[in-house]
Structure 1
């Protein structure tokens, strides 16, 4: 299947659905949308999350995601059944009694198996100076 507007819309909808599952602390949906394990990369390092670990993380998370918006969505086909997506995300979350507003740049690699897309890799980089200066 060529990667056209339909594929872009499908994967953008999947990313939104994934974020909504995090917001709703819907571990079942997030786990079903993830490879087992899923690679994750962020400010805390590199890791792998099994579906079970992802579920526990969402259910017992120290923060509450209250709002999110995805912008500047990009898609790059890597093969017929592998697609990388990247976008800017604006997040509002509650952590330790504080409301935090974050901007970050995220990327995911989605793999299609038997007609079902799952996330195999997700990264998030907080927006800011690339050299860590404040």
Structure 2
């Protein structure tokens, strides 16, 4: 499997983990120093894992498009894409389209997310 295929699969799995409230995925695939930014502010790994476990606004559907992988070197890459999310917010289905980017780093043969940016449309 190519780096591009691997990282696009990991991005799909990340959104699947969001839909399923799978905090274990986040605990495994976020580097300890991982950091994220969205319209809600910033969060670190512990906060991201906690939010996934709480799954308070479950994602019902996530569709990725416009994916692009920018390989910086053999062990670092950026994945960017559009994600169309349908989420259950306070009992109501909401459409939450966004652009997202993840910086990935490979260490010891394993890819881990280092940084995540989520920009609501």
* TM-score above 0.5: yes
Query: 1:28-107 counterparts in 2 under 5 A?
Result: 28-45=24-41, 47-50=42-45, 52-107=46-101
| Alpha carbons 2:39, 2:119 under 8 Å: kept | yes
Unmatched tracts of structure 1, length 5 or more:
128-134
Alignment partner of 2:55: what SS?
coil
Alignment of 1:9-28 (within 5 A): 9-28=5-24
Q: CA deviation at 1:98?
A: 1.0
Structure 1 Cα separation of the partners of residues 5 and 26 of structure 2 = 19
Partner residue of 1:6?
2
Q: 1:59 & 1:72 partners in 2: Cα distance?
A: 28
Q: Which of these two proteins has the greater Rg computed from alpha carbons?
A: 1
State the TM-score, normalized to the length of structure 1. 0.84
Query: How far did 1:56 drift?
Result: 1.7
RMSD across aligned C-alpha pairs, in angstroms?
A: 1.4
Q: Residue deviations 1:30-75, cap 9 Å, x none?
A: 2101011311011122x3413x432221122320111101101001
Q: Which has the bigger relative contact order, CA under 8 A and spacing at least 6? A: 2
How many residues of Structure 1 are paired with residues of Structure 2 in the alignment?
Answer: 121
Matched residue, 2:104: 110
Q: Could you list the runs of 4 or more consecutive aligned residues of structure 1 that deviate by over 3 angstroms after TM superposition? A: none
Q: Is the 8 A contact 1:37 1:48 kept in 2?
A: no
Question: Which consecutive unaligned segments of at least 5 residues does structure 2 have?
Answer: none
Instruction: Give the alignment's TM-score, normalised by structure 2.
Output: 0.93
Distance 2:20 2:56 in 1: 14
Separation of aligned partners in 2, 1:48 and 1:91: 20
